[in-house]
A and B are shown apart, each in its own frame.
Chain A
């Protein structure tokens, strides 16, 4: 009886040792030579593997950074400047300062602003809906509200607001990786700089329809009237295809265009001061954290 136990133990120990030697030798023989700095850089990265840098995951980014002569165009949007500084320090290179960006939904066609003229009964996906027809409102460019962007976001930074019928970005969580921009079949999401004190001004409309059609479909659409272009002291606004666009690099956040816009299609985010408005129109300005509309 005791000999059986001894034999068993001895056999197992010998087998164990044999296998570990074999495994070690194989690991050494088939080892891939890699620059040890890749591991170091990878450990500094957030590890989200979101693809926001344009590469296939954090490991690929680490490899690209180690093999690059300068950090130049390589930047991790999730980690931001903090992470890039650490990476630069680890590699003995200069960190490039980038502007933090945030995803911006260029549509404010809520259930109140934009009447729903039919009811979509198919599979609830913006991609399916947009390939089928022009949507359940009179505006064929606007947000469809089925949440393809929500599904694409790995950071839980975007959600469907059922009450309003469009999607909303949580700017605290958004890391500007660009997944939602790629997922949106209507291309209404843009990555814009967060701005000083997180303030930014943008045209919240994507409609290329002529003014009359756009206005009929949605009360806060851009009608391409051009008043904003005229009033902007910095030439930051251009109109193309009946749609105004504010260039973020030129915009100085003076908000003259916000007042001027007859349909209130231009939104100013995170400004604390109340802008005087005529009684008929809605206030587009918000308090610091919330973006609640005053109805």
Chain B
């Protein structure tokens, strides 16, 4: 008879583990991936594959040969980073751009801090921002490559609606003039938008992923809802004050990486706060900073920077925003 096991209680465990959580995130990303493959064709497949392979490879090499610790690539966290990195890039990015992004994201942001669970900044976002700052022209080339899936849509080198708007405002035009000139359609933005990174193309696909993550209890709704809510509220106020220069809520929510950032990047476990109070403050900060950058900053798109700035505040939020305790202090006497 084999020896009996002995341990402290409890003697049961949930079947879930890190790998199953990451797998759920990948499944939630699947609708967006599929839409972008439909839309951008082979480029999207190439981008995602390059992203995943380079992230996993960098993690494997660093863990095996530099850190000489246990290799943990099968927990799928590097795979998720790879997908998110790819989804944040323009569809026509060359493969080496992705590789550099992966080296920065996994090698510098994740591994130098100690690996999974130890990083302060969101790896995929730092990768993207690094590429944006180092290769500005490549990262803002929103040209849409050929795709054998879609037909009937003219390929054109489209800038994102945000970029167009920013340039137009800088040139002294008012919003109504810009919108009229470019035929922005809200229906397009929600369902299938032209002009944007691989992951931005369909808000609907992203929202489907959000719902899946909620059902599977992978994330809680607080962060995405508060981010979108804050952006909506702030832009609504500004838009009321001066509709000629301040874009409104719907425009802001469905353009840029707001939905992708709110649902997949800001909810990253490692870099977001642990308590509900902290999460709400974090999400509020992201919303405010995004709107400020969009209206008053040099960049047309601000979600990535906003999330990274709030990542810095997370240790402080964890320190001061504790969960609701059951027991109050004991009364003496």
Residues on A close to B: CB < 8 A? 116-122, 128, 132-133, 136
Contacts and interface: CB of A to CB of B under 8 A. Distances in A.
B170 interface: no
A133 B7 CA distance: 9
10 contacts: A118-B5, A119-B4, A119-B5, A120-B5, A120-B7, A121-B5, A121-B6, A122-B7, A128-B8, A136-B6
B12 to A, nearest CB: 13
B3 interface: yes
A132 B8 contact: yes
Contacts of B5: 118-121
B175 to A, nearest CB: 40
Nearest to A122: B7
A118 B6 contact: yes
B8 A119 contact: no
Contacts of A133: 6
A128 B5 CA distance: 15
A118 B3 CA distance: 5
Contacts of A132: 6-8
Contacts of B4: 118-119
Nearest to B3: A119
Contacts of B6: 118-122, 132-133, 136
Q: Which 9 interchain pairs have the tightest Cβ spacing? A: A122-B7, A121-B7, A121-B5, A119-B3, A118-B6, A118-B4, A118-B3, A122-B8, A132-B8
Nearest to B2: A119
B3 A117 contact: yes
B70 to A, nearest CB: 15
Given A119-B6, A122-B8, 8 more contacts: A118-B6, A119-B4, A120-B5, A121-B5, A121-B6, A132-B7, A133-B6, A136-B6
Nearest to A131: B8
A136 B7 CA distance: 11
Interface string B4-31: 1111100000000000000000000000
B9 to A, nearest CB: 10
Nearest to A135: B6
B281 to A, nearest CB: 34
Nearest to A117: B3
A117 B5 CA distance: 10
A133 B6 CA distance: 9
Contacts of A122: 6-8
Interface string B275-301: 000000000000000000000000000
Contacts of A116: 3
B299 to A, nearest CB: 28
A116 B5 CA distance: 11
Point out which of A119, A128, A133 has the most chain B C-beta atoms below 10 A from its C-beta. A119
A117 B1 CA distance: 11
Contacts of B8: 122, 128, 132
B137 to A, nearest CB: 29
Contacts of A121: 5-7
B27 to A, nearest CB: 32
A169 B82 CA distance: 46
A94 to B, nearest CB: 49
Point out which of B4, B5, B7 has the most chain A C-beta atoms below 10 A from its C-beta. B7
A23 B98 CA distance: 47
Nearest to B7: A122
Contacts of B7: 120-122, 132
A12 to B, nearest CB: 27
Interface string B200-230: 0000000000000000000000000000000
B92 to A, nearest CB: 41
A118 B4 CA distance: 5
A54 B7 CA distance: 35
B54 to A, nearest CB: 35
B10 to A, nearest CB: 11
Contacts of A118: 3-6
A208 B5 CA distance: 26
A215 B177 CA distance: 95
A215 B6 CA distance: 24
Nearest to A134: B6
B324 to A, nearest CB: 28
A121 to B, nearest CB: 4
Contacts of A117: 3
A120 B7 CA distance: 6
Nearest to B6: A118
Nearest to A132: B8
Contacts of A136: 3, 6
A129 to B, nearest CB: 9
A30 B6 CA distance: 58
Nearest to A119: B3
